[in-house]
Amino acid sequence: MENMQQTTLPPKSSFSEWYHELLAAAEIMDIRYPVKGLYVWYPFGFALRNNIYSIIRELLNKDGHEEALFPLLIPENEFMKEAEHIKGFEDEVYWVTHGGTTPLEMKLALRPTSETAIYPMYNLWVRSHADLPLKLYQIVNTFRYETKHTRPLIRLREITSFQEAHTVHTDWDDAAKQVDRAIEIYQEFYRRMGIPTIVSKRPSWDKFPGADYTLAVDALMPDGRVLQIGTAHHLADNFAKTFEITYEDTDGEQVYAHQTCYGISERCIAAAISVHGDDRGLVLPPEIAPVQVVIVPILFGRRDQNDEILSACASVRDMLANHGLRTRIDDSDERPGAKYYRWELRGVPVRIEIGPRDLAQNSVVLVRRDTSDKRSVSIDQIAYEVQQSMDMMLDDMYHAALQKLNLRIFDCRTTDEISEKAMQGIVRTSWCLDSDCGHEIEELTGMRMLGVPVGSETMTGDCVICGREGTEVLMARTY
Ligand code: P5A
Ligand code: ZN
């Protein structure tokens, strides 16, 4: 597909324009679909998406999850069983009311998330403690009638790539361990894409409807706002009670199970694009790049010499392909500079240039997308050298992103200080955990409470509102 847009990319410092232009120019999404909040995956974007989702599949499977598939439509009576869940989602549900011209006897919800599709089946499947833990997930589309500003990959009305896991456990503690495990899996997933994350326990007013508590994974976007890129919820026995999910314990008693659920969406792709991209376009971690290596022949016109170069390109391509690397030769008629531009825009991690001078020395020029570092390497070592560069790239990209993140976390002791930092990034401050104080900090500063950070030493200090002893919390402007 050749739909090259010749427009130049706005600088990344104009983040919103850069992001939207890049999605089109790099052929990730076409945002022109005529329904608000719904977008189209181009083949290149979809290949990127599939590479990313195979990582999450791998990690979930390794942790003993199994993939399943439940229906898109949820009958109204099931959807309406859990009071808090309904309250949380009622304004966001699309309803199917007719089959052709016939009104349906019972309305059907397009799943905004699948608790109420899955748990009636868990009611049938969970019988005894021997069935537990039960750990399933699915990767499906879900629909949410979002009223906030919609944005491609970030806030969708059709989430096309919703990975949702739903687990069932014997007791509260076992479920709590799974919530922690889920967060570790997501952090590892993001680490595999070179994305540093922050984990925190959401305040009660921001937890998942129907959950006991919610842990969230956040990433810092270039504009200083935070994007929630994954959540894990402890459901306790709240849904087990409404869906009668009970099992026979070792004493022969029927007891309620405890559940968790956790999910990510294509926001993970938005994060990968935004955290690593630069003024020239995408910078993709090698593992997820649809094209990992592009080979550009440098031709000067002498026919016999050109043939020699093209055949060297082909043999390098074969060596890399045999090594399992996704490799392309760009032998189009464009000038090398135009080719560089095109593949840099698409984030290809490694470029190989082969010209007559290189060939004379049995070597090629290898260029890294993230640093633009150039070096000459021997053709005999090519697969090893490319692999080496790629491994270094992932680590370097992670550490560069981590450094940027750390520079944008600010310690603040008063609401004035917090407001001052509001546009710049994440604020660390103290809060007494009282909801009234929490809401007041949010209102005074225009920032959202991300919650108490998980996994780092939490410090104490005085609540910025009431002065009582408080706990360390993180705040940010959010998407
Ligand atoms: C967990 C999986 C749930 O729905 N049920 C099953 C639980 N949680 S959640 O927090 O509501 O959503 C999980 C993650 O999905 C992303 N997300 C979205 N992404 C794009 N567009 C949207 N409209 C959207 N809504 C939620 C968030 O990353 C969220 O953490
Ligand atoms: Zn307080």
Regarding whether 309 and 164 lie in a shared domain, the answer is no
Residues 332 and 266 grouped into a single domain: no
For the CA of 214, the closest atom of ligand 1 is 10
Ligand 1 near 230 CB (within 6 A):
yes
Strand locations in 145-282 (E): 158-169, 198-201, 213-220, 226-236, 246-248, 254-256, 258-264
Same domain, 129 and 272: yes
Has residue 219 been placed in a domain? yes
* Distance between CA atoms of residues 283 and 400, nearest Å: 12
Range with the lowest mean pLDDT among 89-93, 122-126, 230-234, 458-462? Answer: 458-462
Residues 331 and 375 in one domain: yes
Domain assignment present for 397: no
209 and 356 part of one domain: no
If you average pLDDT over residues 77-101, what whole number do you get? 94
To test the ligand 1 pocket, which listed residue (208, 260, 478) has its Cβ within 8 A of the most ligand atoms? Answer: 208
Among 276, 308, 326, the domain boundary falls at 276
Calculate the CA 466 to chain-centre distance: 37
Say whether both 213 and 330 belong to one domain. no
- Residue 259 bridge partners (DSSP): 168, 236
Residue 189: is its pLDDT beyond 60? yes
Range with the lowest mean pLDDT among 48-52, 84-88, 143-147, 283-287?
84-88
> Is residue 144 within 6 Å of ligand 1 at its C-beta?
yes
pLDDT number for residue 444:
95
Provide DSSP, 26-94. Answer: TTSEETT-SSTT--EE-HHHHHHHHHHHHHHHHHHHHTT-EE----SEEEHHHHTSSHHHHHHHGGG--
Residues 269 and 302 in one domain: no
Separation CA 198–CA 184 (nearest Å):
11
Model confidence at 302, pLDDT cuts 50, 70, 90, reads confident
413 and 471 inside one domain: yes
Of 364, 391, 418, the one marking the end of a domain is: 391
What CATH number is given to the structural domain containing 324?
3.40.50.800
> CB of 377 closer than 6 A to ligand 1?
no
How many Å from the N-terminal Cα to the C-terminal Cα in the chain? 32
Q: Are residues 334 and 469 in the same domain?
A: no
Tell me which residue range forms the domain holding 306: 293-391
Q: Is the pLDDT of residue 457 over 80?
A: no
Predicted confidence band at 3 (pLDDT cuts at 50, 70, 90)? very low
User: Could you identify the atom of ligand 1 that is nearest to the CA of residue 164?
Assistant: 2
Neighbours of 50 (CB within 10 A): 14
> Are residue 220 and residue 353 in the same domain, yes or no?
no
Q: What is the pLDDT of residue 1?
A: 44
Q: pLDDT-derived band of residue 5, with 50, 70 and 90 as boundaries? A: very low
Any atom of ligand 1 within 6 Å of the Cβ of 218 = no
- In a shared domain, residues 68 and 176: yes
Q: Is the CB of 327 under 6 A from ligand 1?
A: no
Calpha distance 41→298 (Å, rounded)? 33
Q: Is the CB of residue 178 below 6 angstroms from any atom belonging to ligand 1? A: no
CB-based burial label for 419 (10 Å; 0-12, 13-18, 19+)? middle
Boundary residue ending a domain (276, 310, 330): 276
Predicted confidence band at 303 (pLDDT cuts at 50, 70, 90)?
confident
Per-residue pLDDT band at 7 (split at 50, 70, 90) = low
Taking residues 167-172, what's their average pLDDT? 98
**434-462 average pLDDT score:** 92
CATH number at 31 reads 3.30.930.10
Same domain, yes or no: 329 and 413:
no
Residue from 386, 6, 194, 196 nearest 377 by CA: 386
For residue 466, give the CATH number of its domain.
Answer: 3.30.110.30
How many domains are contained in the chain?
A: 3
Nearest atom in ligand 1 to the alpha carbon of residue 268 is 28
In a domain, 285, yes or no: no
- What SS3 state is found at 229? strand
Q: Please give the average per-residue pLDDT across 26-38, as a whole number.
A: 98
- Asked whether residue 5 is assigned to any structural domain, the reply reads no
Q: Is 164 in the pocket of ligand 1 (CB under 6 A)?
A: yes
- For residue 154, pLDDT over 60 is answered with yes
Q: Which ligand is nearest to the CA of 467?
A: 2
C-alpha–C-alpha distance, residues 171 and 175, integer Å: 6
pLDDT at 8 exceeding the cut of 90: no
Residue 437 has pLDDT above 90, yes or no: yes
Considering every ligand atom shown, identify the ligand nearest to the alpha carbon of residue 438 and give its number.
2
Closest to 423 (Cα-Cα) out of 440, 450, 446: 446
Per-residue pLDDT, 69: 98
Q: Mean of the per-residue pLDDT values for the chain?
A: 96
pLDDT of residue 71 exceeding 80, the answer is yes
Is pLDDT at 456 greater than 80 in this prediction? no
The residues with which 155 forms a beta bridge, in sequence order, are 151
Which ligand has the shortest distance to the CA of 262?
Answer: 1
Q: Is there a domain that residue 403 lies in? A: no
When pLDDT is averaged across residues 401-422 and rounded to a whole number, the result is: 96
Band (98; pLDDT cuts 50, 70, 90): very high
In a domain, 221, yes or no: yes
pLDDT for residue 203? 98
- The residue to mutate among 91, 228, 266, 450, having the most atoms of ligand 1 within 8 angstroms of its beta carbon, is 228
The reported pLDDT for the residue numbered 407 is: 97
Q: Is the pLDDT of residue 441 over 60?
A: yes
Collect all residues with Cβ–Cβ distance below 8 Å to 351 and sequence separation of at least 6: 293, 294, 295, 296, 340, 343, 344, 366, 367, 369
Quick one: tokens of 19? Answer: 């992001």
Q: 474 burial class (0-12, 13-18, 19+ CB within 10 angstroms)?
A: buried
**Confidence (pLDDT) at 458:** 73
In angstroms, the CA 49 to CA 326 distance is 15
Q: Is residue 91 part of a domain?
A: yes
Ligand 1 atom with least separation from CA of 229: 28
Q: Is the residue at 283 inside a domain?
A: no
Q: What average pLDDT does the segment 284-292 reach? A: 98
Nearest CA to ligand 1 atom 26: 265
The finding on whether 160 has its CB within 6 A of some atom of ligand 1 is no
- For ligand 1, atom 30, the nearest C-alpha belongs to 230
1 close to 119: Cβ distance less than 8 angstroms: no
* Cβ contact 318:52 at 8 Å: no
Which ligand is closest to the CA of 210, given by its number?
1
